[in-house]
Chain A
Amino acid sequence: MRHNTIKIIASSLLAFTLFSGCNGDSVADANNAKAKLGKALFLDKNLSYNGTMACATCHDLNHAMVDSRTASFNNGASTGADGTSISNRNAPTAAYAAFSPDFGVDEEGEYIGGEFLDGRAKDLKAQAKQPLTNPVEMNSSIKGVVSAVKADTTLNAQMKTIYGVEIFDDNNRAYDAIADSIATFEETVEFAPFDSKFDRWNEGSYTFTPQEAEGKKLFEGQGQGRGEGRARCIVCHPINEYHPTFTDYSYDNLGVPVNTVLHGVNGVTAVDNGLGGRKDINNGLLYGAFKVATLRNIAVTGPYMHNGIFKKLKTVVHFYNTRDTGGINPETNATWGAPEVPLTVNHTELGNLGLSDAQEDAIVAFLKTLTDKKFEHLIP
Chain B
Amino acid sequence: MKKTILSLSAMALLSSTAFANTNSEIAELKEKLADIESNQQVLIDETSSLKTGFDTVDISFSHNGMGPAASKVYSSKTPLSIGGYGDIYVKSPDKGQGKAKADVNHFVAYVGYKFSDSIILNTELEFEHGGSNAEAAANGGGKNNAAAEGYAIAEFMYLDFLIDKTFNVEIGKTLIPMGLINLRHEPVLFNTIHKPLVELFIIPSTWSATGVNSYGSFDDIGISYNAGITQALELNNADNGTSSQIENSVASPTGKTNIVKVAFVGRLDYTGVNGLLAGASIYYGDATQGSVRGSSALIYDIHAVYQLSGFKLKALYSASSISNAENIASKIDSNPNSSMKSSNGYYVNIEYDVLASFETTQKFPLFIQYDHLNPAATVVDKFGVTTGSNIGETTTTTFGVNYFPQEQVTFKLDYAMTNFATASKIDYNTLSVALGFLF
Residue in contact with B424 in the complex, picked from A15, A123, A241, CB distance below 8 Å? A241
Interface pair A5/B166, CB less than 8 Å apart:
yes
Query: Which partner residue on chain B sits nearest A8 by CB separation?
Result: B214
Tell me which residues from 19 to 77 in chain B have a Cβ below 8 Å from any Cβ of chain A. none
Identify which of B309-317, B359-367, B382-390 touches chain A. B382-390
Interface pair A19/B264, CB less than 8 Å apart:
yes
Interface pair A12/B383, CB less than 8 Å apart:
no
Known: A35-B383, A202-B422. A15 touches B229 (CB 8 A): yes
Interface pair A12/B382, CB less than 8 Å apart:
no
- A203 interfacial contact with B, CB 8 Å: yes
Tell me which residues from 381 to 439 in chain B have a Cβ below 8 Å from any Cβ of chain A. 381-385, 389-392, 421-426
Interface pair B295/A24, CB less than 8 Å apart:
yes
- B164 interfacial contact with A, CB 8 Å: yes
Query: Which partner residue on chain B sits nearest A204 by CB separation?
Result: B423
Interface pair A20/B296, CB less than 8 Å apart:
yes
- B304 interfacial contact with A, CB 8 Å: no
Interface pair B336/A187, CB less than 8 Å apart:
yes
Interface pair B391/A242, CB less than 8 Å apart:
yes
**Which bracket fits the contact residues of B?**
35 or more
Interface pair B391/A28, CB less than 8 Å apart:
no
Known: A9-B214, A12-B227. A4 touches B382 (CB 8 A): no
Identify which of B78-86, B115-123, B183-191, B319-327 touches chain A. B319-327
A27 to chain B: which residues have CB within 8 Å? 294, 324, 326-327, 330, 382
Interface pair B424/A244, CB less than 8 Å apart:
yes
Interface pair B392/A242, CB less than 8 Å apart:
yes
> Smallest distance from the beta carbon of A6 to chain B beta carbons, Å?
10
Query: CA A76 – CA B390 in complex, angstroms?
Result: 39
B243 to chain A: which residues have CB within 8 Å? 242
Interface pair A19/B263, CB less than 8 Å apart:
yes
Interface code B222-240, partner A: CB below 8 Å = 1, 0 otherwise?
A: 0000011100000000000
* Pairs A–B under 8 Å by Cβ, sample size 26: A1-B163, A1-B164, A5-B167, A5-B214, A5-B216, A12-B227, A16-B285, A19-B285, A21-B286, A21-B294, A21-B296, A21-B323, A22-B293, A23-B324, A24-B295, A24-B323, A24-B324, A27-B324, A31-B382, A189-B381, A203-B390, A204-B423, A240-B425, A241-B425, A242-B390, A242-B392
Tell me which residues from 178 to 216 in chain A have a Cβ below 8 Å from any Cβ of chain B. 187-189, 192, 201-204
Query: CA A9 – CA B389 in complex, angstroms?
Result: 37
> Smallest distance from the beta carbon of A322 to chain B beta carbons, Å?
28
Binding site for B on A (CB under 8 A): 1-2, 4-5, 8-9, 11-13, 15-16, 19-25, 27-29, 31-32, 35, 98-102, 107, 123, 187-189, 192, 201-204, 239-244
A15 to chain B: which residues have CB within 8 Å? 229, 262, 264, 285
Query: Which partner residue on chain A sits nearest B385 by CB separation?
Result: A189
> Smallest distance from the beta carbon of B165 to chain A beta carbons, Å?
11
Query: CA A22 – CA B286 in complex, angstroms?
Result: 11
A16 to chain B: which residues have CB within 8 Å? 264, 284-285
Residue in contact with A201 in the complex, picked from B383, B384, B390, B423, CB distance below 8 Å? B423
Of B284, B285, B383, B423, chain A has the most CB atoms within 10 Å of the CB of: B383
B391 to chain A: which residues have CB within 8 Å? 242-243
B164 to chain A: which residues have CB within 8 Å? 1
Query: Which partner residue on chain B sits nearest A96 by CB separation?
Result: B336
A20 to chain B: which residues have CB within 8 Å? 296, 323
Query: Which partner residue on chain A sits nearest B139 by CB separation?
Result: A107
